[in-house]
Amino acid sequence: MTLLILVVLVSSLAALAQRVKTPYPIVLVLSGLILSFFPVIPHVSINPTFVFLVILPPLLFAASLNTAWREFRFNLVSIAMLGLGLVAFTVAGISTVAHFFMPEFDWRTGAVLGAVISTTDAIAVAAIASRVGLPHRVLEIIEGESLVNDATGLLALQFTTALVVSGEIPSIGGGVREFIWLICGGVAAGLLVGWFVARFDRLLFRLFQQSSEVPILVSIATPYFAYLLGEAIHSSGVLATVVCGLYLGRTTSETFSTRARLDSRVIWNTLDFVLNGFIFIVIGLQLPTVLNGMRDRAGHLNWPHMIAGAAFVAAVAIAVRMALIFPGAHLAWFLRRRLLHQQVEKPTSRELVVTGWSGMRGVLTLAAALSLPEFLDNGNPFPKRGHIIFYAFTVILVTLVGQGLSLPAIIRKLGLVDSDESLDEERKARRVLLKAALKTLRETPGDEEEGERSAAAILTRYYEQRLEALRKQDAEPAQLQQRKYQELAAKVRRVEREQILRLRGEGTFRESTLRDLERELDLLDLRWEKS
């Protein structure tokens, strides 16, 4: 019953978010927060083990699978400066500030708090970017940072939690060795699983060229294999999953059939939306559980102290990010220009402001907080565990809702909207494809039979018209003609769909035949969406 209620809520609220043109994570979190005050709403709690083992692997894999490896590698220095440097800076900054300004925290529990809130979530940013038009070069770095700091943030959490639980400070050499193994072991595990799955997919492609079910089943199971292997060798399962997704993202063009690629995109997009939808609304519903951890022995809540502490931590988390963005980005630009000899433009102040303001927190932050052990090795309760969970919950709300709602206005105010550069690049790529196709058609021997010559002539005229349309696309008459052409084509397809419905009602043809014809029309609709 609870699952059914959540399905209805997620579906309804996602539709509402689309109608009010607001990223669905913000609407879901706010709605869950409001609904948590109603006793009729079932109590739902997040099990951190369930999140890490069941929810997190497919979410990480889906994000890394859709990440462009070429751009990720090109921006790796800038991404690492945020994904590695910002995590370390957040842990150190929160630890120092908590130690001096929050008496209930020492530097070790402050470091745990810093590690918990160091990971960012790019889902809301991506939703905003698609609507507002954030430049691709900025979004690529933000999304890459989210992938990297998911791994580094959890690594930092392991170290800082061990400091508190054991009460011992590890040696520098031992800490460095463990850190290196967590990274190297995770990367190796991800590459191993990715290599094996890629070759298995090639075998499936040869055996089942027209089938998509088996390759997609393997694809869904892959992130769990990578994550569990990484954890089994005591390295980073998160990093293993990310690396595996990056590796396999470049192989689907060779190992998946056309049907499998189309079906897998639909399934992964749906799975990504469903998991994120459930998690974001459950985050909002966590308020009663979080508040219970803040009650004193008499069961009371010290609201002034709680609100002041939460506001202070959220402000410090935002300030730490904004303080590092500018020197970190300029250092990354210097290294890329001088050492790597990359031809990159110096980041502007407007881009850095947006990048800094995009540091929203999400499910991983709350799961990390809830995963803290309840007791130390000596049997004492984990110090300030309730406070850490409450502050993490507050940082999620402030950054996801506050920054998420204000980010579109900031982007527009700064005039940081995407130019036609990406569209021009797409046109150039289309020209390359069309010229290659025409070259092949024109080099076709002229002594083939009459039917083949006629087919080649028709195809040649078709590709020549497409190429000519691209050349004239900037001209207003050509744009008008193209728009009228698309409108007429859409009208004709609607007539065909009406005929399918009529034939289905009459029962003249088999249902399977009409379904195949309807799929052809669906594919044509998708084709014209990109035209």
Residues 125, 139 contacting (CB under 8 angstroms): yes
Residues in the chain: 531
Identify whether residues 186 and 219 lie together within a single domain.
yes
Instruction: Give the contacts of 354 (CB within 8 A, at least 6 positions apart).
Output: 134, 138, 407, 410, 411, 414, 416
User: Widest CA span of the chain, in angstroms?
Assistant: 95
**What pLDDT, on the 0 to 100 scale, is given for residue 170?**
63
Is the residue at 319 inside a domain?
yes
Is the residue at 427 inside a domain?
no
**What pLDDT, on the 0 to 100 scale, is given for residue 476?**
54
Give the Å distances, CA to CA, from 134 to 149, 358, 366, 424, 531: 21, 11, 27, 16, 22
Residues 145, 79 contacting (CB under 8 angstroms): yes
- The number of domains in the chain is 3
Mean pLDDT confidence for 224-241: 91
Determine what percent of the chain is predicted with pLDDT higher than 90.
Answer: 13
**What pLDDT, on the 0 to 100 scale, is given for residue 322?**
92
**What pLDDT, on the 0 to 100 scale, is given for residue 232?**
93
HSE value, Cβ hemisphere, 13 Å, CA-based, for 263: 16
Band (pLDDT 50/70/90 cuts) for residue 10 is confident
pLDDT tens digits for 161-172? Answer: 888 887 776 666
CA–CA separation, 464 and 471 (whole Å): 11
Identify whether residues 232 and 184 lie together within a single domain.
yes
pLDDT tens digits for 274-290? Answer: 888 888 888 888 878 78
Structure tokens at 231: 């954890």
Identify whether residues 134 and 202 lie together within a single domain.
yes
Identify whether residues 344 and 448 lie together within a single domain.
no
Is the residue at 527 inside a domain?
yes
Is the residue at 289 inside a domain?
yes
Identify whether residues 268 and 140 lie together within a single domain.
yes
Q: What is the pTM of this model?
A: 0.81
Is the residue at 441 inside a domain?
yes
Residues 72, 246 contacting (CB under 8 angstroms): yes
CA–CA separation, 226 and 194 (whole Å): 8
- Decide if pLDDT at 130 tops 70: no
Identify whether residues 212 and 325 lie together within a single domain.
yes
Identify whether residues 203 and 71 lie together within a single domain.
yes
**What pLDDT, on the 0 to 100 scale, is given for residue 531?**
54
Structure tokens at 52: 């890490």
**What pLDDT, on the 0 to 100 scale, is given for residue 210?**
66
Band (pLDDT 50/70/90 cuts) for residue 114 is very high
pLDDT tens digits for 93-109? Answer: 999 888 888 888 888 89
Chain mean pLDDT for the chain: 82
Identify whether residues 238 and 270 lie together within a single domain.
yes
Please provide the distance, in angstroms rounded to a whole number, between the alpha carbons at the two ends of the chain: 44
CA–CA separation, 323 and 118 (whole Å): 14
Residues 459, 444 contacting (CB under 8 angstroms): no
Band (pLDDT 50/70/90 cuts) for residue 224 is very high
- Decide if pLDDT at 482 tops 70: no
- ∠ CA 176-182-184, rounded to 5°: 95
Mean pLDDT confidence for 124-133: 68
Is the residue at 383 inside a domain?
no
**What pLDDT, on the 0 to 100 scale, is given for residue 222?**
95
Identify whether residues 438 and 502 lie together within a single domain.
no
Residues 335, 76 contacting (CB under 8 angstroms): no
Nearest alpha-carbon partner for 221 in 411, 419, 54: 54
Instruction: Give the contacts of 430 (CB within 8 A, at least 6 positions apart).
Output: 466, 470
Identify whether residues 236 and 367 lie together within a single domain.
yes
Q: Who has greater pLDDT, 150 or 396?
A: 396
- Decide if pLDDT at 472 tops 70: no
Structure tokens at 528: 């014209």
Identify whether residues 454 and 497 lie together within a single domain.
no
**What pLDDT, on the 0 to 100 scale, is given for residue 447?**
58
CA–CA separation, 431 and 451 (whole Å): 28
Q: Who has greater pLDDT, 523 or 496?
A: 496
Is the residue at 421 inside a domain?
no
Identify whether residues 369 and 443 lie together within a single domain.
no
pLDDT tens digits for 249-267? Answer: 888 777 787 778 888 888 9
**What pLDDT, on the 0 to 100 scale, is given for residue 171?**
67
Domain boundary, last residue among 425, 449, 471:
471
CATH number assigned to the domain comprising residue 148: 1.20.1530.20
For 368, other C-beta atoms within 10 Å of its C-beta total 28
pLDDT tens digits for 132-190? Answer: 667 778 888 888 888 888 778 888 888 888 888 877 766 667 767 877 888 889 999 99
Instruction: Give the contacts of 5 (CB within 8 A, at least 6 positions apart).
Output: 41, 42
Among the residue ranges 76-90, 228-242, 322-336, 427-441, the one predicted with the least confidence is 427-441
Task: Render the burial of 33-65: b for 16+ CB within 10 Å, e for the rest.
Answer: bebbeeeebeebebeeeebbeebbbbbbbbbbb
For 187, other C-beta atoms within 10 Å of its C-beta total 19
Band (pLDDT 50/70/90 cuts) for residue 480 is low
pLDDT tens digits for 330-389? Answer: 999 999 988 888 888 888 898 899 889 988 888 888 888 888 888 887 888 888 888 898
Residue 277 belongs to what domain range? 60-297+306-374+388-416
Is the residue at 12 inside a domain?
no
DSSP secondary structure code for residue 118 in this structure = -
Q: Who has greater pLDDT, 208 or 437?
A: 437
**What pLDDT, on the 0 to 100 scale, is given for residue 530?**
56
